[in-house]
Amino acid sequence: MLDHKRPLDTRLPDMLRSGKRLRGIFNGIPSPALVEMCAYAGFDFLVIDNEHGSASIETTENMLRAARASNLPTLVRCLEHDIARTLDIGAGGLQIPMVSTPAYAAALAPRASAASAAVRSRHALQVMALLAGRPTPRAATKVLRWC
């Protein structure tokens, strides 16, 4: 079951390691209702295809919500330039197309981790505190590192 204290669904790696046969489906149709149908049809996981599909970032976010509500582990297939935004809207995992070498995969890994999304969000909150006139020493240090 999905832990609602941690809204990212990270069950899929364990499911894949289990050795159990899984049934997954790619969906390029931008519809949260279709995501729910995939869950109720018995699929074990879903890949939202934003490489070939036409879903906007807002629709993808709603599709991820539908997947969480339906208890369906979901990855998002997105292009490299959408990694940060896709993680920020709550994707528990990504599939990045056209990664053809181990070196390229290693270079993408830090950007494509849920931990990097948490770090970006934490830093953004510190910058907002600084701009609001309530700087903390930690926030000021982070801003100075960026300059």
Instruction: Read off the pTM.
Output: 0.74
Report residue 25 as tokens: 């489906």
User: What residue ranges define each of the domains in the chain, with the CATH number in brackets?
Assistant: 1-101 (3.20.20.60), 113-147 (no CATH)
Tell me which amino acid residue 9 is. D
Judged against a pLDDT cut of 50, whether residue 144 lies above it is answered with no
Report residue 3 as tokens: 């832990």
- CA 122 and chain centroid, separation: 16
pLDDT tens figures, 58-79: 999 999 999 999 999 999 999 9
Q: What is the chain's Cα-based Rg?
A: 17
123 among known catalytic residues: no
Q: What integer is the mean pLDDT of 8-20?
A: 88
